[in-house]
Amino acid sequence: MERHEIGKTLHRLKDIGEEMDGVRVQLLNPDRPSSLKRYLEDHQPRAYDILFGFEEDSDSEGFTTVKRNTRGGGHAVIENWIRHKDPVYRYSAKTNRPINELLGLDIRQMSYEEKLKLRQYWLDDMRTVASSELLRGVNEHMECRAHLSKQYQEKERRCLLASKVIGVTTTGFASRSELIRSLTAKVLMCEEAAEVLEAHILSALLPTLEQTILIGDHQQLRPQIMNHDFSVENPRGGAKYGLNTSLFERTAEHERYGGRKFPIAELETQRRMHPSISALIRNTLYPKLQDHSYMLKNPPVPGLAKRLFGWIIDISKQEQTKWN
């Protein structure tokens, strides 16, 4: 039943697209003969039957042949009708009746001026009808897309309900917020929380959450924003906005609750760098950082004479001193 409903919705979306193609042609090319012909067939059946309907032809033996009345194509048919080129449409009176009267009359009994007036009415009404059909088609297309998205989400929801851990990006959470909110998640864990905008964290705090774990380093990279004027690094008043200050950074450094700083757990023992390398950040950002004893056993890098190379640049003296 689910596959049938999805297939039915996809088929309807395809039909809407084909219908809107015809409407688009009527709006963009109202003077095209096929556009006016389609309008007459759908909304002026009496005039359509006279211009493009079936006609009967009887032979000498009494047989009647029914065939389509083309008379040279759509454009030629309209022109023959307006200019009285076809004997069927000849009308000698020089009348100029209002359009309200013409709508109820036989189009074969009209003068040249009246036919021009009626054709212009058809063109104007065709644009109005096409605009309404386009608006209706757009609304129906949006409803079908929403219905289809809901059907797909229900399939994803059944899959996610059987999962213990769900991993998403902040963008993925925003695009699937309705789906994730229906899962009644209890724990939120955010990696690299210092690089995530505070608004993104707040939007992920679902009502069902019982615990939130933010993992990151508030002394390193901040979130990226498009306008530097609102950045905390901007010396021209950007600190009062501080949009690139993450919730993790605020809770780790600035927020106070009952006179106490918000509790955080900080890593004090590193197991990745040789002590000669970790000394660079120990003396600048992490004075409490300790080296695990196993780091002293790290072998030298094959092919390199030293573990660390670099340059110390003294900007005031414009001098460079090599160190290793």
pTM, two decimals, is: 0.55
**Tens of pLDDT along 171-212?**
889 888 888 888 888 999 999 999 999 989 998 999 999 999
Residue 295 makes CB contacts below 8 A (sequence gap 6+) with 270, 271, 272, 273, 274, 275, 278
Residue 157 makes CB contacts below 8 A (sequence gap 6+) with 179, 182, 183
Which has the minimum average pLDDT: 44-48, 89-93, 226-230, 252-256? 252-256
- Measured CA to CA, the distance from residue 168 to residue 173 in angstroms comes to 6
User: Locate tokens 């080129």: which residue?
Assistant: 85
pLDDT for 53: 75
User: Locate tokens 């129906």: which residue?
Assistant: 140
**Tens of pLDDT along 227-274?**
888 888 888 888 888 888 888 888 887 655 556 667 788 888 999 999
Q: Is 130 exposed, middle or buried (0-12, 13-18, 19+ CB in 10 A)?
A: buried
- Measured CA to CA, the distance from residue 248 to residue 188 in angstroms comes to 14
**Total number of residues shown for the chain:** 324
- Measured CA to CA, the distance from residue 153 to residue 187 in angstroms comes to 22
Pairing of strands 269-270, 290-291: parallel
**Tens of pLDDT along 96-139?**
889 988 888 888 888 888 888 998 999 899 889 889 988 999 99
Structural domains of the chain, with CATH: 2-153 (no CATH), 163-266 (3.40.50.300)
User: Locate tokens 């615990």: which residue?
Assistant: 211
CB 91 within 8 A of CB 114: no
Question: What is the radius of gyration, based on Cα positions, of the chain?
Answer: 38
Confidence of residue 324 (pLDDT cuts 50, 70, 90): very low
What the block records as the tokens of 277 is 């390398």
What single-letter DSSP state applies at residue 183? T
- Measured CA to CA, the distance from residue 201 to residue 249 in angstroms comes to 12
DSSP string, 99-161: HHHHTTS-TTS--HHHHHHHHHHHHHHHHHHHHHHHHHHHHHHHHHHHHHHHHHHHHHHHHHH
- Measured CA to CA, the distance from residue 87 to residue 284 in angstroms comes to 100
CB 89 within 8 A of CB 52: no
